[in-house]
Every structure is written in structure tokens, then in C-alpha cells.
């Protein structure tokens, strides 16, 4: 992968800039993951920029004081990642910032820190809100995130999902996914406009026909290439087959685990 970032912060609404940086690459779980750069850490974000990614996926949860923090663990439990038998929602954001990931100097970072770093490194963001039971956060939580995105001038460089609170508070800064109804319409041959929307799915479930129908409707298309989507004994070869097939179909980009970076050598356009 190329490592210079001459293209600046991506503008997802500008198709010419998206094409110039084809394929766009989104770093899964907060960046490039190594023993010294745990998932969703500030170190992982820095490595994503150094390795030439366009965007990073940030996993976001609500701390006990209502502030958004970056953490992936199931139901927010800290035991596996940090050795602390507590949940993200049991602790305040200040208490969480004092905790370190196992075998690392990296703290659990506030979303404000992650967004500030992404903006300084010209990385777009994909926000993935983690649930606790039926809840993914309060209205204040989402209002705060909307303010942070505007504060860091990330409008046009954000992908998020379709929860009603995301629609309410992030509509002026984020791009939302194509609905299942509209996907059915375009793959069934109906002509509708999906400009300003995106679609993402598992790479090996995504057909050439679907990619082309979505592109013709104006939607951006992304495929997820993650290790847990493949049998471990053949994951590299299967991931390579998927990316080659989807590049030929005209897909706009991929969300990938960093173990697959080398598969993109020679496939990227200018702008970095």
C-alpha cells in the first residue's frame, strides 16, 4: 500500500475524488492492529494513516458518565482486552482513560480524542455503535457525537448506520446506508436515485450484479473483508479472490482487517 496522503480528507459526496482514490480502504476495528497498537487505540489510528488508509472504523460505546469512548468488546466488558472485570458503562470516561489494554501502554480513548486525531491525519471515519441489550446510547450521547463531528470538521467523511438517533443527530455530517427496501428495488431493476447513500456487506455474499445496480443508482458500495468471514486455513486466498472479483465489478472500496493490506499492492489509484 502507498503511504503518502496527498489526497487529503476524503469527501464521500464527491464522486470524482472517490474514483481518484479507488479503491477506498477503511481500517476495521479502529486501525492497524499490532501487539503495541490494540484495536480502537490512538496508536492503531496513527498506523492506519501511515499505511495509507482513507478511513477508519471506530467502535463507539457510552461510558458511565454518558461520554462516548472507543471500545469494541462484547457488551462493553473489559476483562479480555484489559484485565478489568467491569463494563464500559460501569466506569466514567476518566476512569476508563486510566485503564490500559493488556501488554500495551495504550489507554481506552475518548471518541473526542479519536476524532481529533483522525482529522489531523486526514482520515475519514466509519462509526459503529455497540449495543448493551436493546440500547446503543442516550439522546445526549448522540447529540454529543454530532457536535464532535462538526467541531472536527468531518462532514462528508463519515459513514454511519440507520438507528433513529443517528438519523436525528448525525444527518448533517454523516452518510447513511441504503435501506433493504431500496436495495430490493434496484436489484429488481427499478430505477431510483440513491445518491448520498452507501451499501456495505460481506464480500463473498456480494454479487457483480448487486454492485453494478447500486453504482448505477448513485450509491457508494463497500465490501467487508474480515478474518472471521473466512475459514482460517484459506482466508488469504479466499479474500484475494473476493477483492479481485469485486474490483472487476467496479466496487468503490473495502473495509478490511489490516492482515489483508498486502493484497491491495498495485491496485490503488493516485491521490496518496
Using one digit for the tens of pLDDT, what is the confidence trace for 121-173?
999 999 999 887 667 889 999 999 999 999 999 999 999 999 999 999 999 99
Using one digit for the tens of pLDDT, what is the confidence trace for 26-38?
999 999 999 999 9
* Residue-level pLDDT at 269: 65
CA distance 45 to 37: 8
* Residue-level pLDDT at 132: 74
Burial 65-101 (b: 16+ CB within 10 A, else e): eebbbbbbbeebbbeebbebebbbeebebeebbebbb
Cβ-proximal residues to 180 (8 Å cutoff; 6+ apart), any chain? none
Using one digit for the tens of pLDDT, what is the confidence trace for 172-212?
999 999 999 999 999 999 999 999 999 999 998 899 999 99
- Residue pointed to by grid coordinates 486510566: 98
All domains of the chain, ordered by start, with CATH?
15-61+115-263 (3.20.20.190)
Amino acid at each position: 500500500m502507498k503511504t503518502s496522503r496527498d489526497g487529503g480528507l476524503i469527501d464521500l459526496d464527491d464522486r470524482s475524488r472517490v474514483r481518484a482514490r479507488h479503491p477506498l480502504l477503511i481500517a476495521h476495528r479502529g486501525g492497524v492492529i499490532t501487539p503495541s497498537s490494540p484495536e480502537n487505540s490512538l496508536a492503531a489510528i496513527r498506523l492506519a494513516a501511515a499505511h495509507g488508509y482513507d478511513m477508519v472504523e471506530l467502535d463507539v460505546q457510552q461510558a458511565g458518565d454518558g461520554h462516548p469512548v472507543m471500545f469494541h468488546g462484547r457488551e462493553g466488558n473489559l476483562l479480555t482486552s484489559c484485565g478489568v472485570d467491569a463494563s464500559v458503562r460501569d466506569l466514567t470516561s476518566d476512569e476508563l482513560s486510566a485503564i490500559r489494554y493488556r501488554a500495551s501502554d495504550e489507554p481506552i480513548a475518548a471518541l473526542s480524542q479519536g476524532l481529533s486525531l483522525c482529522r489531523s491525519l486526514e482520515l475519514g471515519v466509519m462509526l459503529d455503535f455497540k449495543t448493551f441489550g436493546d440500547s446503543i446510547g442516550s439522546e445526549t450521547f448522540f447529540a454529543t457525537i454530532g457536535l464532535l463531528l462538526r467541531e472536527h470538521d468531518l462532514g462528508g467523511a463519515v459513514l454511519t448506520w440507520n438507528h433513529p438517533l443517528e438519523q436525528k443527530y448525525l444527518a448533517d455530517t454523516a452518510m447513511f446506508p441504503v435501506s433493504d427496501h431500496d436495495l430490493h428495488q434496484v436489484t429488481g431493476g427499478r430505477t431510483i436515485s440513491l445518491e448520498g447513500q452507501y451499501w456495505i456487506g460481506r464480500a463473498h455474499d456480494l454479487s457483480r450484479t448487486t454492485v453494478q445496480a447500486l453504482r448505477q443508482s448513485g450509491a457508494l458500495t463497500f465490501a467487508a473483508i474480515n478474518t472471521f468471514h473466512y475459514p482460517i486455513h484459506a482466508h488469504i486466498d479466499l479474500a484475494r479472490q473476493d477483492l479481485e472479483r469485486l474490483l472487476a465489478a467496479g466496487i468503490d472500496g473495502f473495509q478490511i482487517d489490516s492482515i489483508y493490506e498486502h493484497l491491495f499492492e498495485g491496485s490503488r489509484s493516485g491521490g496518496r
